[in-house]
Amino acid sequence: MATGRAAVLDQPMGTFSIETFNVPDPASGTVLLRQELAGCCATDAHTYLGMWKAEFPVIMGHENVGVIEAIGSGGALDFNGRELHVGDRVIARSTYCGTCYECRGARQPRNCRNRKVQYGFSSPTTALFSGGYGEYLYLSSPMTTFMLKIDAPPSVAVLHEPLAVAAHAVRKAQPRLGSTVVVQGSGAIGLFTLGLARQAGAARAIVVGGPAERLELAQAFGADAVVNIDELRDPEERVRAVLDETPGRLGADVVYGCVGKSAAWSEGIDYLRDGDGRFLEVGLAGDDGEVGFNPATQLVAKNASFIGALGMADEDSVAAVAMMENKRLPLEHMVSHQLPLERVGEAMEALNGTYLLDGRTAFKIAIAPNGQMP
């Protein structure tokens, strides 16, 4: 029987070790991928710290792209209903079943009762090759697997999950044609939200973030102006600098909060214009504590709307793939590091620290279990 390797994390803040497992023969309706790349994101860094729910020991890696190695009897279709074949490149992640009470009656698909295997958050004792940090990814739960064929190189396709998160954010706070948006934060979610908001009709975009290399990339994604938080350290100064960049100093029509720190919230709200401004928070996936907030001056007096966005729906992943295939965003510059399985621990350290790896700023780190990918 063929075997393959995967990086297994024994416990929160524990040790990654490379373990060898038998490669399963895919059961009816399931698909086995040979992994090309698995992205590393803040959720993985939080899973490592024990701040995000996972089943230990765990094989992490939820941002996956690979090539179909084998298909169970009866064949398989992708989300758009296209027949899948051995050799097809697909993106894959866990989704909801769409048929249970939580999905339909309660309209809470995040609580879907049929999602027993969660790719990137499950244990090899529950399901073999259940995460992307392995040579194979076994999509063993057909009812809750989202798969889509993609015509893009692996180093672009691997970005599908954060791009879908950004697509969800822009869908929930769609900029009107000609409007001004501010993106607070210049990580992957910030840059993708910026790029998609521009595509969706924003006439002017301002990015607040750092370091300088990321702000350069922000300009490639469509920022007209950038505010470097390493240079302007005082939040009030930053608010003034942002307002200076908006037409008439009126403030932004839409602010996308993509920082992931609740301390940044109040500042983000202050970028908003008076009258029908919308603030959408997409960065705060984990609980980062409470902040001071004045509902009279910051919400009611401004006639503002506050919107939260977590994760994505399947339609957002379909949109993300279309945007990767049409090549309008400079996505090919995002993956800054491709690392072998043995270096997963270093990737987590970089994400939980300074984002420096091998002497360079990390934009997006990807694990390449089967060697470097184009």
What residue number has its CB nearest to Zn ion? 112
Stretch that binds Zn ion, among 19-27, 93-101, 269-277, 327-335 (CB under 5 A): 93-101
Nearby residues of 258 by Cβ (< 8 Å), 6 or more positions away: 169, 183, 184, 185, 186, 187, 189, 190, 193, 282, 283
Q: Does 341 bind Zn ion (CB under 5 A)?
A: no
DSSP code at position 341: G
Q: Which of 6, 7, 26, 43 binds Zn ion (CB under 5 A)?
A: 43
Closest CA to 212 of 225, 224, 223, 228: 228
Binding of Zn ion at residue 95 (CB under 5 A)?
A: no
Dist CA 216 CA 219 (whole Å)? 5
Residue 103 binds Zn ion, judged by CB under 5 A: yes
Q: Between residues 114 and 123, which has the closer beta carbon with respect to Zn ion?
A: 114
**Closest approach of Zn ion to the CB of residue 161, in Å:** 5
**194: closest CA among 172, 227, 237, 163?**
163
Total chain residues near Zn ion (CB under 5 A): 10
Is there a contact between 245 and 224 (Cβ–Cβ < 8 Å)?
Answer: yes
Pairing of strands 63-71, 31-40: antiparallel
Q: Is 97 in the site for Zn ion (CB under 5 A)?
A: yes
Q: Between residues 96 and 146, which has the closer beta carbon with respect to Zn ion? A: 96
Stretch that binds Zn ion, among 154-162, 207-215, 264-272, 317-325 (CB under 5 A): 154-162
Residue with tokens 């993609």: 150
Which CB atom, from 97 or from 250, has the smaller least distance to Zn ion?
97
DSSP secondary structure string for all residues of 192-210: HHHHHHHHTT-SEEEEEE-
Binding-site string for Zn ion from residue 106 to residue 125, where x marks contact by CB under 5 A and - marks none: ------x-x-----------
Nearest alpha carbon to residue 247 among 269, 228, 227, 224: 224
Annotate each residue in 238-277 with x if it binds Zn ion (CB under 5 A) or - if it does not, as one string.
----------------------------------------
In which residue are the tokens 């939040």 written? 235
Nearest approach, Cβ of 12 to Zn ion (angstroms)? 18
- Which residues make up the interface to Zn ion (CB under 5 A)? 41, 43, 63, 96-97, 100, 103, 112, 114, 161
